[in-house]
């Protein structure tokens, strides 16, 4: 089994990178991609702890936006096997990580202004040096007894609307080009997940394919069967590869590693397109 989308404590997952690869092996995976938000900081620990029988794909999930409508649509781009030292991409990711901290602190300020006992140092401590995300604030809300679950923390009364704050993301066309320049392979994450909010039109994906988009993530927990079929049909029309993955976050979500997987043929196509770094093969 091949799972190409999973998060560790380097961003907003609840397992350390070493624990994540161990969990992947225990779940029967043959290949696991570590794709933390806007960071590669978990790569070394994951590679050093790689258990026998599991190959590691080094990647990241980039925070992007499309400005073809107002307000812009936020979206995510999975970037695989890119050179983390490529200067322009590294600088773009650093800017997004800094913007995540600014947004996180702003959300905490809004919560405190309404009398909720959440502190920014507490949120930073929970992130433990990883990329700060709203799930870290959600955990603070749970610890304060304001909500019971992460899902509740993300509803409209809390982080989903009332205490939502925008951040600076990478223009999606720029992101695709930067990933390609770094020798990586860009795949659009959960492109049709209407349950998450607004989605982009198919015409945008056509334009992205023309500048280097390699694939679409079709099989994902936030896609309905009809949405998965739509993504697959569009990928076939454009000659893009199709991936499937769990988008595992540990205790932040109920989905298990390997819940959705990528076909070996699609994985081989992905690896063949990469020139940044290679998968880390199990010993």
Q: How confident is the prediction along the chain (283 residues), in pLDDT tens digits per residue?
A: 999 999 999 998 999 999 999 999 999 999 999 999 999 999 999 999 999 999 999 999 999 999 999 889 999 999 999 999 999 999 999 999 998 888 899 999 999 999 999 899 988 888 877 778 888 898 889 898 988 888 888 888 888 888 887 778 999 999 999 999 999 999 999 999 888 888 999 999 999 999 999 999 999 999 999 999 999 999 999 999 999 999 999 987 789 999 999 999 999 999 999 999 999 998 6
CB 33 within 8 A of CB 5: yes
The label of the residue with tokens 């190959």 reads 55
Within-domain flag for 20: yes
Within-domain flag for 135: no
Domain count within the chain: 1
Range of the domain at 205: 2-86+171-273
CB 215 within 8 A of CB 185: yes
Within-domain flag for 45: yes
Q: What residues contact residue 280 under an 8 Å CB cut-off, 6+ apart?
A: 47, 50, 55, 56, 58
The label of the residue with tokens 């590869």 reads 241
Within-domain flag for 82: yes
pLDDT of residue 167: 79
The Cα-based distances of 273 to 50, 62, 142, 148 in angstroms read 23, 19, 43, 44
CATH number for the domain spanning 240: value is 3.20.20.140
Within-domain flag for 124: no
Within-domain flag for 74: yes
Rounded Cα distance, 227 and 238, in Å: 17
3-state secondary structure of 55: strand
pLDDT of residue 273: 98
Within-domain flag for 132: no
Within-domain flag for 227: yes
CB 10 within 8 A of CB 41: yes
3-state secondary structure of 137: helix
Radius of gyration of the chain from its Cα atoms, rounded to whole angstroms: 18
What global pTM score does this model have? 0.90
- Bridge partners (DSSP) of residue 79 are 60, 186
């Amino acid at each position: 089994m091949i799972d190409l989308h999973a998060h560790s404590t380097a961003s907003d997952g609840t397992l350390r990178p070493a624990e994540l690869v161990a969990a992947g092996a225990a779940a029967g995976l043959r290949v696991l991609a570590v794709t933390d938000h806007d960071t590669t900081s978990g790569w070394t620990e994951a590679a050093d702890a790689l258990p026998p029988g599991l190959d590691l794909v080094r990647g990241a999930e980039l925070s992007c936006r499309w400005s073809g409508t107002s307000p812009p649509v936020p979206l995510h781009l999975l970037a695989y096997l890119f050179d983390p030292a490529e200067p322009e991409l590294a600088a773009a990711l650093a800017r997004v990580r800094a913007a995540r901290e600014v947004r996180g602190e702003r959300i905490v300020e809004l919560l405190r202004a309404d009398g909720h006992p959440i502190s920014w140092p507490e949120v930073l401590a929970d992130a433990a040096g990883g990329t700060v995300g709203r799930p870290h604030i959600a955990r603070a809300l749970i610890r304060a007894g304001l909500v019971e679950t992460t899902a509740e923390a993300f509803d409209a009364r809390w982080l989903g609307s009332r205490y939502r704050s925008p951040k600076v993301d990478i223009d999606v066309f720029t992101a695709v080009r930067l990933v390609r320049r770094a020798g990586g392979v860009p795949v659009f994450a959960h492109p049709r997940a209407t349950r998450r909010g607004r989605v982009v039109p198919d015409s945008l994906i056509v334009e992205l394919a023309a500048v280097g988009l390699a694939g679409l993530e079709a099989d994902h927990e936030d896609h309905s069967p009809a949405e998965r079929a739509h993504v697959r049909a569009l990928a076939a029309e454009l000659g893009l590869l199709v991936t499937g993955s769990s988008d595992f976050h540990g205790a932040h979500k109920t989905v298990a590693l390997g819940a959705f997987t990528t076909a070996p043929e699609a994985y081989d196509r992905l690896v063949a397109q990469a020139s940044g770094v290679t998968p880390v093969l199990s010993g």
